[in-house]
Amino acid sequence: MAKIRVIPRLDIKNSNLIKSIRLEGLRKLGSPVDFAKKYYENGADELLFNDCVASLYGRNSLLKIIEETAENIFIPLTVGGGITSIEEAQNIFRSGADKISLNSGAIKKNCLISDLAEKFGSQAVVVEIQAKQSGPNEWEALFENGREHSRQNAVDWAKRVEKLGAGEILLTSVDREGTALGFDIELIQQVMNVVSIPLIVSGGMGKLEHLSQLLDTADVSGISCAHVLHYDELNINTIKSYLSSTNRDVRK
């Protein structure tokens, strides 16, 4: 089994770390730089930053935050929100990011995935799929941070994302996001069955038992958490210790 990465997720609006439930009702929590430092010191394997209103306003406002974070944090940083061109991606990489995350830009212009993978390498291109259940065993890929409907089957989109050259998929369950009710196992299994690139799952982590339920049925590359970490319900060391105790391979 590949090593399982524990990846705190930091969704940001303007200069504030925020948290939502099902991508709605944003609540301000504080400085994203302070939270990032805390998670780094607690053993995070990577950090995921997302400007959750970037597509709405047509710009990513995280450059200064990433520059400040990268000065003292030495783990991979993935940055997403509003990326629509090679030039915008270059600016984010120059600020200190190691990978970029696409969603709206990729749905609106599929070839953006291929263009960025060719320019920077597939390993630097992550595509987030914000999946919302639309029927029995059916999920739709949303964009604009859950505000817009693509009318595209999320599992089919995952297959296409891989073919276009993405190096990883970040699969976010909109129905479980911020609820602490557990991962959407059916969704994760369906996507896992059609792709071979690393799969990071996000949405629903609420207690340690949810990890066991996930890993008993899916071989994921990473788990991306927000709610349980931001509100100190669990910490990274506890998560890693639990994974180790259940004989899961974790990064030390």
The predicted-structure confidence for 186-222, as pLDDT tens digits, reads as follows 999 999 999 999 999 999 999 999 998 898 888 899 9
Burial class (CB in 10 A: 0-12, 13-18, 19+), 137: exposed
Q: Which residues contact 125 (CB under 8 A, 6 or more apart)?
A: 99, 100, 102, 113, 116, 117, 165, 166, 167, 168
Q: In this structure, what token pair is assigned to residue 247?
A: 């004989």
Domains located in the chain, CATH noted = 5-245 (3.20.20.70)
Residue 73's pLDDT band, with cuts at 50, 70 and 90, is very high
Higher per-residue confidence, 125 vs 242: 125
Tell me what the mean pLDDT of segment 158-172 comes to: 98
Tell me what the mean pLDDT of segment 45-55 comes to: 86
Tell me what the mean pLDDT of segment 231-252 comes to: 78
Quick one: DSSP state of residue 178?
T
C-alpha–C-alpha distance, residues 49 and 249, integer Å? 25
Whether pLDDT at 147 is above 60: yes
**242 with 225: CB under 8 angstroms?**
no
